[in-house]
Structure 1
């Protein structure tokens, strides 16, 4: 099975956002795309077989979710994350971001303050702005190549009237997996100031030893009552195009409010293939996931080894996710010129660090969920450009 992750599969001309938008995004079709967070691997055989069976059946009418599917999700969360949820707590939607939008609409009001920990996933900014809420930033601090939470600042921001906190755990883009102690400090403060937690845990299954993902709602009954946990198999099993996710909400009042908003916006159904995929992935994808994480760690090890003695790029090792947060600030380039240099001279397409907020200036995000051959090509292109291309033209 491990060889599956070394196979290079041509995704061009499949309407793949990652591969078929290279020309429009980077201005050249010879840029190697290592950006948007999907994987260049085939999904587990159990999922492929289930979807093939569904396709051969040939009828794709309205599809509902049921008790067996809820049981499957409950077992997965219990076995993987030691959280014993009730099946009645689960609601479905097309995506984690969709549910986050509904939660903001249902549980906050215009001009309410919503806190995020920056740099962070770009839709967090957008959901707040789109609903005329106020963004409150709790900037993460980078020291000795590790990001930490400034809890003094966190409390001061909550004290000033924050209504909701959007947590990212594991954190995208920095790759932190928050510890039990860190989560408990956040819990204590959110309880103290009566703040809702909208917890994006979409990367929960992609955590590397010795780290452990802990759902924040699992630690405290009271905080569970004021938390919406957003989860999905899409990042875990490369199912993003099937648009399937779920939220775990123990508080019936909150659950009904979010569910009601999903119905109001016509987002209460997930597609037929998505239902089949989530069921098959959680039933038969465990072995595949084990090998995936082994492969991802090999890729991460390679990148770390290549960059470890360099003064021009700093590698920050992720505790979870397949996303690497690369620090190019020592090059002394302004951010726009950094992007141009990597794009034009290295010919590698990375995520713009500034899309994650001002704290991302000088950083770029790399996706290593691909065969090692692709990772090597991308890294060596960057190293070759840094060592051989004239960077002075970009220092203006």
Structure 2
């Protein structure tokens, strides 16, 4: 797996403006101005890897884009990646499709809970979790994470109380926005509580390839057969290989009865199983040939993370980055600025001219925080940091 000693370039600044790009072309809508460096939505400003582009081009050369299936090679690419990358041996028959992880979360809520059922979330957390619960008439139950010694950690005493009577828990693994890579001990404690209370575990593992050394991702469902039968894993190569514009998401559902229930929603009720040709081709190319590219990406992003941490320590004492163990997202603790709410949001947009995600979106524990995306050329990260430094000097 991989492309040998090919050296990939991540320093190139590529304009995405005018390409119907959410991150750049919706700046006016989200920030009220186009004069911000957009470092918010979680995709990358790096080229999608050449071996993926070439695979899509080869498929396009056939010049017929009719209805397509997902072949055995598709499932094998996923199962091989899970085994080699995460030491998890899965049966290809466990794999099912989804147009995206967020659509999957909503389908799973509809498939396995009833209106009024309690579903646990662990804020601050990826905010579509909240919508998947509340927009479908379920009751959100919060098990807030705790910030302990610069890391977001689970509160198991509270979870043990909240799990009583709950039907489902949505888990961000690794955690978005905090970057925590849940350890085997943490996952085991979580799973034990959920098994005791018959709580279905939905594990969003879309960031699971973006792990910084020495941390290691452990798929929740890999802990044991009992855990796997009570867990549904959501994943995709989209965050890893910058494929968010394609439908590349999939679910891993070891329990056959649960797999049948999900597939009945996907196929019979919503008719969403068709997917698209480009997404299937991209997934196979990514997982079959992407290991070396990913290694170089992680090395580059780790240095971007280090730049943010060092710069804040030297020039921005008002901001404390929560050092991520994973992802290209950094959770910035801005409470020392003395600003919060709209004042903090407006400072970054209007004074510093940078576009971050407002921490309040992520729920309880998000006030006074911002989420920044550093999957971009280092020069862009440095320019954003300089803008923030200059803005503080002008206060």
- TM superposition score normalised by structure 1: 0.96
Query: Counterparts of 1:142 and 1:350 in 2: how far apart (Å)?
Result: 21
Is the 1:113–1:134 contact (alpha carbons within 8 Å) kept by the matching residues of 2?
A: yes
Q: Which residue of the partner structure matches residue 290 of structure 1?
A: 295
* Cα-to-partner distance string for 1:190-232 (whole Å, 9 max, x where unaligned): 1111110000000000001000000010001101101100010
Q: Which residue of the partner structure matches residue 339 of structure 1?
A: 345
Is the 2:207–2:239 contact (alpha carbons within 8 Å) kept by the matching residues of 1?
A: yes
Q: Which residue of the partner structure matches residue 73 of structure 1?
A: 78
* Cα-to-partner distance string for 1:264-294 (whole Å, 9 max, x where unaligned): 1122121110011001111111111010000
Q: Which residue of the partner structure matches residue 368 of structure 1?
A: 374
* Cα-to-partner distance string for 1:365-395 (whole Å, 9 max, x where unaligned): 0000001011111111111111x222xxxxx
Q: Which residue of the partner structure matches residue 389 of structure 1?
A: 394
Three-state SS of the structure 1 residue aligned to 2:10 is helix
Q: 1:302 aligns with which of 301, 307, 310?
A: 307
Q: 1:236 aligns with which of 227, 235, 240?
A: 240
Query: Counterparts of 1:348 and 1:254 in 2: how far apart (Å)?
Result: 44
Q: Which runs of 5+ in 1 are unaligned?
A: 391-396
More helix by share: 1
* Cα-to-partner distance string for 1:224-248 (whole Å, 9 max, x where unaligned): 1011000100000000001221100
Q: Which runs of 5+ in 2 are unaligned?
A: 1-5
* Cα-to-partner distance string for 1:337-380 (whole Å, 9 max, x where unaligned): 10001100000000111110131111010000001011111111
Is the 1:2–1:292 contact (alpha carbons within 8 Å) kept by the matching residues of 2?
A: no
Q: 2:334 aligns with which of 318, 323, 328?
A: 328
Q: Which residue of the partner structure matches residue 230 of structure 2?
A: 226
Q: Which residue of the partner structure matches residue 21 of structure 1?
A: 26
Query: Counterparts of 2:274 and 2:124 in 1: how far apart (Å)?
Result: 32
Query: Counterparts of 2:203 and 2:8 in 1: how far apart (Å)?
Result: 34
Q: 1:142 aligns with which of 128, 135, 147?
A: 147
Distance 1:326-1:270 versus aligned 2 partners, 3 A rule: same
* Cα-to-partner distance string for 1:102-134 (whole Å, 9 max, x where unaligned): 111111111000001110001100000011100
Is the 1:243–1:270 contact (alpha carbons within 8 Å) kept by the matching residues of 2?
A: yes
Counting matched residue pairs gives 388
Query: Counterparts of 1:97 and 1:2 in 2: how far apart (Å)?
Result: 34
Q: Determine whether 1:355 maps to 2:361.
A: yes
Superposed counterparts of 1:96-111, under 5 Å: 96-111=101-116
**CA RMSD in angstroms, aligned pairs only:** 1.0
Q: Which residue of the partner structure matches residue 261 of structure 1?
A: 265
Q: Which moves more between the two structures, 42-51 or 125-134?
A: 42-51
Runs ≥4 residues deviating over 6 A: none
Per the TM alignment, residue 24 of structure 1 is displaced from its structure 2 partner at its CA by: 2.1
Is the 1:99–1:258 contact (alpha carbons within 8 Å) kept by the matching residues of 2?
A: no
Is the 1:187–1:223 contact (alpha carbons within 8 Å) kept by the matching residues of 2?
A: yes
